[in-house]
Structure 1
Amino acid sequence: MLVKWIRCTVVDRHGFERGQRKWAGLLGEPGFMGQSGGWSRRRPDVAHVFAFWENRVFYDSFMAREHDRQAAAQSGTYKDMQVKLFEYRFDVKTGFEPLFTDADVVRLAHSRVYEDRVEHFTLMQQKVWNPAMAGSPGMLRGLFGEAPGNEFLVLSMWQSSAERGKYRPESIARLSARADTDQDIEALTGDVVRLESSWTV
C-alpha cells in the first residue's frame, strides 16, 4: 500500500474546503483505497490530507491522467504544499484499513532516522511504541510507513481528541528513553489533525 501525505498552508479556507470536497471524484479510480484529512490543532491555517493507494503503479497512472484536472479546483487556495509518499511497512495495533468514519483525530509523526540506526528504530517501533499505542484508550489503528532517505511516518487514528490526550507526555518520555529514540532520530516533526468528515472519500 502507498500512503500519500500532503501538508499545506491554506490562504483561502472556504475555497480550499470547497475544492477538497470535489476529490470525491477519486471514487472508482483503479487502485484507490481512501482519502481524508483535516486541520492542524496547533496551526489552524495548516491542512493535512492522507490518501491511500494499492500500489505505486495505480497511483502513477492516476497522476498522469486525472490529477491535474481535479487539483485545479483548489488552485490559489494554499501555499507551501509538501507532498511525501510512503510505502506501508506494518500495522500499529492490528488490521489497518484507510477508513475514517469512526475516527475524530489523526496523529502523525514524521522522522528522519540516521542510516546506521534504521534497523534499531524499526525494531523499537514494533517492540516498544506499538504496544504502548495499541493499549491507549481511544486508539483505533495506525500504520508505519517508509520513504527513501531513511524517512518514516507513523500515522495513528483516534476516537476523540479527549482520548488522544491520555497518551501523556510523561509516558512518551519514558517510552523514548526505553527505545533510545534520541540515538535513532535525526529530525522529528509531528501534528495532531482534526478530521473533517466532508473531506473523506
Structure 2
Amino acid sequence: MIIKRISCKVKEGNKEKFYEHQKQWKPLKQVKGFLGQIGGWSIKYPLTACVYSFWKTQKDYGQFMEEKHDQIFVNSGQESTYESIDVSLFQEKLRVPGAEDNIVNVVKIANYIRVAMSQVKEDKIIHFVDMQEEVWNTGMKKSKGMLGGTFSFSQKQSNDFLIFTGWESEDYHQHYMEANFPELLKTAKPLNDVLKLRGEQFTVEEAWRVYPKDC
C-alpha cells in the first residue's frame, strides 16, 4: 500500500475557501486502486490542512497521477488558497491492527487521526520496527476506540517512518494517551532510536472524507 501525505499551509483568511475546494476531490472514489482519503485541520497549527490518501499499489498511484490528478486539481481551484504545500509518499511496512480490518473501513469511520513521524538512526531501524510490531501495535490494539492504521517508510529516505492511526473519537485517543501510552513509551524507549520525532493530530472533516464507490 502507498500512503500519500499532503500538508498545506493555508493563507490567512482562506480557510473557508480551501475547505470548499477540498470537497472537490470526490472523483477519486472512481479511480482504480484508490483506497481512501481523509483530512482535517491540524490541532497544533490551525492554518495547516492535513490530508492522507491511500493506494493499493505504486502502479495505481502512478497511473492516477499521469491520467487524472491534474484535471481534478485544476477543477478544484485549490492552488490559490494556500501559500505552501508539502507532499511525501510512504510504503506500508506493517499494518497497525485495530477494531477494523482494513484501511478503507478506517477512512470511512474514523473521527480523529494521530500521526507520528520519526527519523530513525540507521543502526536502530531494526529495533524501531520490532518495537512497533511487538510493543506499540499490541498496546494500541487493546485500546478502546482504536480503529487501526499503518506503519510505513518514506520512499525518499528509508529511515523516515510514518505511523498513522484512526480513532473513533478524540476522547478515546486521549484516554489511550493517559492510560496506555506512558507504559508503552517506557517499554519501547523510542527516544533511543530516533534522531527526530514530530507528529500531527486532527479531527476529521466529514466533507473531505472520500472512499471507493463500491465500499
Fold shared by both chains (TM-score > 0.5): yes
Query: In structure 2, the residue corresponding to 1:106 is in which secondary structure?
Result: strand
Conserved? CA contact 2:89–2:154, under 8 Å: yes
Q: Is the 8 A contact 2:38 2:52 kept in 1?
A: yes
Query: Deviation above 4 Å: which 4+ runs of structure 1?
Result: none
- Deviation (angstroms), 1:170: 7.3
Query: What is the alpha-carbon root mean square deviation over aligned residues?
Result: 1.5
Take 2:55 and 2:29, find their aligned partners in 1: how far apart are those partners? 12
Identify the residue that residue 146 of structure 1 maps to in structure 2: 153
Say if 1:36 and 1:50, in contact at 8 Å, map to a contact too.
yes
Asked if residue 29 in structure 1 is aligned to residue 31 in structure 2, the reply is yes
Task: Note the 1:18-167 alignment, pairs <5 A.
Answer: 18-72=20-74, 73-94=77-98, 95-99=101-105, 100-148=107-155, 149=157, 150-167=159-176
Whether the 8 Å contact between 1:36 and 1:51 is mirrored in structure 2 is yes
TM-score (norm 2): 0.88
2:143–2:180 Cα contact (<8 Å) kept = no
- For 1:165, what is the secondary structure of its paired residue? helix
Gaps of 5+ in 1: none
Quick check: 1:197 aligned with 2:206?
yes
Distance 1:165 1:76 in 2: 36
Equivalent-residue separation in structure 1 for 2:104 and 2:179 (angstroms): 30
Count of residues in correspondence between the two structures? 201
Unmatched tracts of structure 2, length 5 or more: 211-215
Q: TM-score, normalised by structure 1?
A: 0.94
Distance in structure 2 (CA, Å) of the matches to 1:197 and 1:102: 10
Cα distance per residue 1:33-71 (max 9 Å; x no partner): 111111112221111111111111111111122212222
Q: Secondary structure at the match of 1:35?
A: strand
Q: Distance in 2 between matches of 1:189 and 1:85?
A: 17
SS of the counterpart of 1:98? Answer: helix
Which residue in the other structure is 2:213 paired with?
none
Q: Which residue of 1 aligns with 2:8?
A: 8
Q: State the distance in 2 between where 1:78 and 1:120 align.
A: 39
Conserved 8 A contact 1:101-1:197: no
Which residues of 2 match residues 169-184 of structure 1 at below 5 A? 171-184=180-193
- The amino acid of 2:132's aligned partner reads Q
Which residue does the alignment assign to 1:17? 19
User: 2:140 and 2:182 mapped to 1: Cα distance?
Assistant: 14
Which amino acid counterpart does residue 184 of structure 1 have in structure 2? Answer: D
Residue type at the aligned position of 1:84: S
Higher helix share: 2
For 2:30 and 2:179, locate their aligned partners in 1 and report how far apart those are by CA, in whole Å.
45
